Amino acid sequence: MKRIQSRYVLASPARRPLKIFASDPMQGRAAGNLTTIAVGNEKLTPGPAGSRIEVVDYDGSVSGGRYYQPVDLDDPAILMQGGLEPTESDPRFHQQMVYAVGMKVLENFERALGRSIYFLGGRRLRLLPHAFRGANAFYDRRLLGVLFGYFRADQANPGRNLPGQNVFTCLSHDIIAHEVTHALVDRLRSNFLEFSNPDVAAFHEGFADIVAIFQHFTFPDILHDYIRATRTDLRSPTPLVQLAQQFGYATGRGRALRSAVDLDTGGALRARARGDEDQPAAEPLYQSVMEPHERGSILVAAVFDGFFSVYQRRIADLLRIATGGTGMLPAGDLHPDLITRVAGEASRTAQSILTMCIRAFEYLPPVDVTFGDYLRALVTADYELNPSDDVGQRACMIEAFRSRGVYPDGVWSLAEESLLWENAPPEVPRFPVALLGDLSSVAPGAFSQASPPRESRPAERTTPQATPDLSDLTDDVLRPYAESNAELLGLQKGRPIDVQGFHSVFRVGQDGRLVIEIVTQFVQLEKSEKAAMGGLPLRGGSTVIAGADGTVRYVISKPLSRERLEKQREWIDLVDSTDPAMTYLPEDRRGERMVATGFAAIHRSIVR
């Protein structure tokens, strides 16, 4: 074979560079704001439309609707310059930016989970950069799409924007990352759009903010600048730790929309000033704040706090080296080499925390998540991969949650071994699908980047389109296994069991070991009180994690129980009594109030 015919020559480039605003147009052409990110190279048709994300530029704000010209990113003229130049006035750049940032989020998920993510039925996630006029952006499950709004900046108080100028939510890195994360969370845990306790919606929001904020740290230029400006104190209020600056100012808030640190929470900071940081705040916000975005900020602050502690540990030696052992930085500018090294540590730490946060998904129960469950999942997932925790990443994270009053249910202490999910009892029979013997049937997606894995569909979805061989596996193997071991798996005997997710995970641990797991979600439904609870059924279920040889290692369970029903009912009563709309909601619509298809209720948005 001629060398010219070899794969080495013929293979297309692995990455596609695309230009974006690192934060949003309001930061203007400030250094680092115009940046280039590289996403996986795939064949794109005008839109751009790839295999998993497609941009549909439909504007519903004019009567009859209209489309805008789609960009062809494979056009040589555009390829040659690494994508269109950032600009507010060309919708094709907007399309490029939502695609690029959306892909970046997707890749972060794939990297952390160790597998490719496809949307159900081989559908593509649609991004509509100019869907409506309004200061908001939404994920809509029916469309499997993210709808970005555009609006005019506040006339009286526009911040650094022109009064009345058009502001595009689709040009904010943070808003794109936030909304695409909602779509991915919905893909991984579809029951998390049923807000069965105060943490579920808050988890959706907080997690979306976490992804948006930590993605900032992957942009080397701005990271470098802000480390210089803040003299390594990354908690300072810079655009790095703030979300959606332009949006916040353009809507007259006079500040960024949200921040990773400002909620931190007066309480924790004051406690630190008093010198008794071991005491959680007298009334932690976790006890009182119920609005999903604000409550989500508690999760963000906890994770960011954990990040900051690890980062400080990691740069302590660099600071000592740079300061002749004192660790006290002198006045004046920092040495550029030091900045580069510190930026490297910040970026690595951020990536590692982000990966840890996403990886925890495999260890979450399939329904009714709480912040406490999430902490346990974080600890367990990280423990499985890095048992030794050399840099104290887990310890810092546990501490950050503790100081915010987030305590998981049913643990004896906040020691690491107590926070790990309990191991499955030894009498749980071997999982019926063992990877070693049956590799190809359970892990098609792990070896081919092109073919979507076949997964079962969650219950109560429209257009079921199960692939025959997997539904065979579900019907013939997985469900019978769960039925005959219901009690051991935390399920209710005799009640129908739905298989809502089944995949394998391959990861390499810190010590070079290959970690293989088979993750399956079983869900059960209790509908009797659905109407009384505003249309929310009680769901129970278990996430079952088996090793490569089929040994069941963890059963993470939320069993159907009277106690959980009572709790859910109490929560819904609280929602009802605090919601002024309940006063006027006609009787015949009350039965669906918790699942209303209106945007206000179920769609996860950047603001409420």
Partner 1 sequence: MSPAAKKIRIGMYNVGFGDAFLVRIPGKKGESKILFDCGSIKQGDGGPIDAVVESIIEDVKDADGKPRIDVVVATHRHRDHVSGFANEAWSDVEVQEVWMPWTEDPADPEARRIREAQSRLALTLHEELTRLGAAADVIDLAANALTNDAAMQTLHSGFGGQAVRRFLPPRDRRKSTFTAACLPGVLIHAMGPSFDENVIANMDPPEGKSYLQLAAAGAADRKDPRPPFPGDWTYDGTPAGGLSTEEKAIVDGVGDGNESVVAAALDGAVNGTSLVMMLQTGRNFLLFPGDAQWGTWNMILGDSEWTALLKKTTFLKVGHHGSHNATPRPFVDDFLPGPPNDLWAMVSTIQRGSWPIPKKELMAALATHTKRIVRSDQIPGALQGVFKPRASLYVETEIPA
Q: Which positions lie near partner 1, rule CB under 8 A?
A: 45-47, 49, 54, 56-62, 65-70, 89-92, 126, 128, 130-136, 138, 140, 142-143, 147, 149-152, 154-155, 164, 166, 168, 251-252, 288, 573, 576-587, 590, 598-600, 607-608
Shortest approach of partner 1 to residue 600 CB, angstroms?
6
Cα dihedral 357, 359, 363, 367 sign: positive
Shortest approach of partner 1 to residue 69 CB, angstroms?
5
Whole-angstrom distance, CA of residue 60 vs CA of residue 143: 14
Q: Which is nearer to partner 1, 193 or 420 (CB)?
A: 193
Q: Which is nearer to partner 1, 290 or 411 (CB)?
A: 290
Shortest approach of partner 1 to residue 419 CB, angstroms?
32
Shortest approach of partner 1 to residue 580 CB, angstroms?
3
Alpha-carbon distances, residue 249 vs 138, 160, 163 (angstroms): 19, 7, 11
DSSP H helical segments within 360-392, as ranges?
Answer: 371-385
Q: Which is nearer to partner 1, 438 or 576 (CB)?
A: 576
Shortest approach of partner 1 to residue 605 CB, angstroms?
10
Among 178, 186, 407, 403, which residue's Cα sits nearest to residue 304? 403
Shortest approach of partner 1 to residue 215 CB, angstroms?
26
Whole-angstrom distance, CA of residue 208 vs CA of residue 181: 5
Shortest approach of partner 1 to residue 271 CB, angstroms?
20
Whole-angstrom distance, CA of residue 524 vs CA of residue 70: 44
Whole-angstrom distance, CA of residue 78 vs CA of residue 520: 43
Kindly state the helix (H) or strand (E) to which residue 564 belongs, with its residue range: helix 562-578
- In this structure, the chain runs to a length of 608
Q: Which amino acid is at 434?
A: A
Alpha-carbon distances, residue 126 vs 63, 109, 129 (angstroms): 22, 17, 10
Structure-derived torsion over alpha carbons of residues 109, 594, 542, 498, reported in degrees to the nearest 10? -100
Q: Which is nearer to partner 1, 36 or 51 (CB)?
A: 51
Q: Which amino acid is at 399?
A: E
Q: Which is nearer to partner 1, 165 or 561 (CB)?
A: 165
Whole-angstrom distance, CA of residue 364 vs CA of residue 313: 29
Shortest approach of partner 1 to residue 166 CB, angstroms?
4
DSSP H helical segments within 389-520, as ranges?
Answer: 393-402, 416-419, 439-442, 444-447, 468-473, 479-484
